Structure 1
Amino acid sequence: MIMWDMEVVYEFLPRLWSGLVITVEVTILATLLALVYGLVMAVLERSPAAPVRRLVGMLLEFVRRTPPLIQLYFAFYVLPSIGFMLDGFTCGVIVMGIHIGSYMAEVYRSGIDAVDKGQWEAACALNYGKGDTWRFIILPQAILPMIPALGNYLVLMFKDSALLSTITVLDMMGETVVFANSSYHYLEPMTIVGIVYLLISIPCAFGLRALEKSLNKNPQS
């Protein structure tokens, strides 16, 4: 009969807290990288140079069509053999940022395509340069409706950060696995870490849904 042991819980909680801090750090840093990377790739997809568009499209498809776990393993275990050495935390942030950013690029693209073509023509008529057109005309109109979709990827990043435990990062999942393997108690740590992921992910999801409804009620003028 499986018994719940509170002593195991009390012993595990400090390690869970330590792992949660790392998980939050990874989530924030990787999401920031993903936001920037996705935007850059979405803009490059609209480059007038066909080779650039093709190269960006191939890169995005490659990242989207390969599992993030394989990407993490390749970056952490294979790249050092050719001189690129990264610690687990840095490797995880970069790989997860690029992986999720590749999906964000599609969100950005959809938002940019939704901007009325007349806005581009008006910017051209007013003699705006390309940089000013993007910064002051297109992106301000495109990004606001994209916020809920981009926020969903923040939640996804938080959950997928558990993969970093496979490359020695002691995030929540990493601490849980180490504790469980050393104590031979799996029920308590695995249950608790699952609950923590739920307690953080579900309110975020509801918050994003409420934000989306608010934006739909108050569309951009």
Structure 2
Amino acid sequence: MTWDWSAVDAFMPKFWDGLLVTLQAVVLGSLIAFTLGLVWAMAQRSSLKAVRWPVNIVTEFIRNTPLLVQLFFFYYVLPEWDITFSALTTGVVALGLHYSTYTAEVYRAGIEGVPVGQWEAATALSLPRGRTWGAVILPQAIRRVVPALGNYVIAMLKDSPMIATIGVLEMLGEARQFGAQTFVMTEPITIVGIAFILIAYPASLLTRALERRLVR
């Protein structure tokens, strides 16, 4: 087997297109996961059972359902109810919603890790509930969980090829399509594998460095 540089040259324009789609899916999916996860975590601590119980049921259902099933549900089932999105939007929403249930647990752990004395001090100062959360609890909780959130971004990156199943041509999707058209698989698949390493490994090092910094 020989390495064909002409195949690499032919594949690279498609690779850059796929890379852009991958980064869009991961960045936008992460924003949804981080934002919605915080909403889930705060709702789970609500004193109202009418809020707490439905949220617990929904998050448990999503967390225990395969991402692939959720992608197919959003892309193939929702249109039967006249709810239609583009393939990329569907992929982004599915990734973000799926991972929001995991980030919710991370946020919950961070909130529960805030010393009880902080809650008591806020109560003693008669701080409104909103200010207690925004100025006292969340800044401390989020600071504790940033490294864990970074790990979920990396996990989302590695799961991003799943969106190719609904027609979104991210890096691996572009490589598979190129291979199907040219019958050349070694070069495109190898390039995509290296790209995942070059993105994920520095991100992993950054997460570890951030964790060490926050611990200090």
Q: TM-score range by the shorter chain?
A: over 0.9
Structure 2 equivalent of residue 203 of structure 1: 202
Pair 1:24-2:5 in alignment: no
Same amino acid, percent of matched pairs: 45
Deviation at 1:3, TM superposition (A): 2.8
Query: Residues of 1 paired with 2:94 and 2:81: CA distance?
Result: 17
Deviation at 1:51, TM superposition (A): 2.9
Deviation at 1:91, TM superposition (A): 0.5
3-state secondary structure, aligned to 1:199: helix
Deviation at 1:210, TM superposition (A): 1.6
RMSD: 1.0
Structure 1 equivalent of residue 163 of structure 2: 164
Deviation at 1:153, TM superposition (A): 0.8
Deviation at 1:4, TM superposition (A): 2.1
Query: Residues of 2 paired with 1:70 and 1:167: CA distance?
Result: 11
3-state secondary structure, aligned to 1:3: coil
- Give every structure 1 segment of 4 or more consecutive aligned residues whose post-TM-superposition deviation is greater than 3 Å: none
Deviation at 1:151, TM superposition (A): 0.7
Count of matched residue pairs: 216
Structure 2 equivalent of residue 95 of structure 1: 94
With normalisation by structure 2, the TM-score equals: 0.97
Deviation at 1:192, TM superposition (A): 1.0
Query: Residues of 1 paired with 2:2 and 2:60: CA distance?
Result: 47
* Worse-matched range after superposition: 133-142 or 45-54: 45-54
1:1-221 superposed matches below 5 A = 2-216=1-215, 218=216
With normalisation by structure 1, the TM-score equals: 0.95
**How big is each residue's C-alpha offset from its partner over 1:87-125, in whole Å with a ceiling of 9 and x where there is no partner?**
111111111001111100000000000011121121112
**How big is each residue's C-alpha offset from its partner over 1:133-188, in whole Å with a ceiling of 9 and x where there is no partner?**
10001001111111100011111112211111111112112211111111111111
Whichever residue aligns with residue 202 of structure 1, its letter is: Y
**How big is each residue's C-alpha offset from its partner over 1:76-97, in whole Å with a ceiling of 9 and x where there is no partner?**
0111111111111111111100
Structure 2: runs of 5 or more not aligned:
none
Deviation at 1:54, TM superposition (A): 1.5
Deviation at 1:35, TM superposition (A): 0.5
